[in-house]
Amino acid sequence: MPRREAFAVLAVPILVAVILWAPAWVFLVVLGAVVVAAGDELLAMAGSLGIPRWRWLTLAALVAVLVASWAAGVSGLAIALGVAVTLLPAAQLARPEAPRGSLSGIAVSSLAVLFLGVTGACLGWLRLWPDPADAARLLLYYLGVIWAGDSGAYYVGTRLGRHKMSPQISPKKTWEGLAGGTVVTFAAAALLRPLLAGSLGWIDALAIAAILAVAAPVGDLVESQLKRDTGIKDSSRLFPGHGGALDRTDSLLYPAPPVLAYLLLAGLIP
């Protein structure tokens, strides 16, 4: 069995068990660790380009954003982000290279905290904000639909892909793979709804599928362009056959804000 599939066979059941049967804070700890690892990989990618940045200060700010958001909701997120966006530019003044690289260093640190902090916070809120009886299953629904769509795109693209979608950013992605992933996304949303998201109406389930069909591939491409810019294939070797934390979370984190926004606007989260 290829390492990609072998790792998934081992890791997915453990994650499902954590989401379904462990207290919510256990999932948040796991999610936080993975998001911080992704932030560290992003900073390492920037370092490969010679961009000066404060590694530990940036990661500490990212941890603070996640903890504050999950402990105090939107208010906690706003306060932590406010502190981060004022502290990180000021900290760049203390770099020995300053002013050289200040703009790029501030930009990278801010990106790591703002992008990963906000998307990570929203993914955690999907476990915290819905009704406790539905939260775990709704989160599994979200993840399962994304994983199914990603797998559909991968297998259809590798077998039938002919037309490159974005050759300069992600040479292996094809329009055929995107079409296959979209079909599988909607199919998974329909099939998993009775099992995991029975509280969702069909219109809501299809709306979420539509968001995921667009946002998950875009999240993948966003991370791919960062890797192409730095000339690396994988953000790290943290997960055998799957690359790094940033590689594994790009399509999971990116759709979280629009899905959460839909659930709130549709009145599905009080």
Q: Is residue 33 helix, strand or coil?
A: helix
Q: What angle do CA 222, 226, 228 make, to 5 degrees?
A: 110
Determine the length of the chain: 270
Q: Tens of pLDDT along the chain (270 residues)?
A: 456 666 667 778 888 889 999 999 999 999 999 999 999 999 999 999 999 999 999 999 999 999 999 999 999 999 999 999 999 999 999 998 889 889 999 999 999 999 999 999 999 999 999 888 789 999 999 999 999 999 998 888 888 878 888 888 888 889 998 999 999 999 999 999 999 988 899 999 999 999 999 999 999 999 989 888 888 888 888 776 678 899 889 999 999 999 999 999 999 887
The CA–CA distances, whole Å, from 17 to 12, 14, 71, 130, 183 equal 9, 5, 23, 19, 28
Asked whether the beta carbons of 94 and 233 are under 8 A apart, the reply is no
The model carries a pTM of 0.92
Phi, psi values for residue 101, rounded to 5°: 80, 5
Q: Is the peptide bond before 99 cis (omega within 30 degrees of 0)?
A: yes
Closest CA to 188 of 216, 221, 220, 160: 216
Per the DSSP assignment, residues forming a β-bridge with 166 are 170
Asked whether the beta carbons of 220 and 178 are under 8 A apart, the reply is no
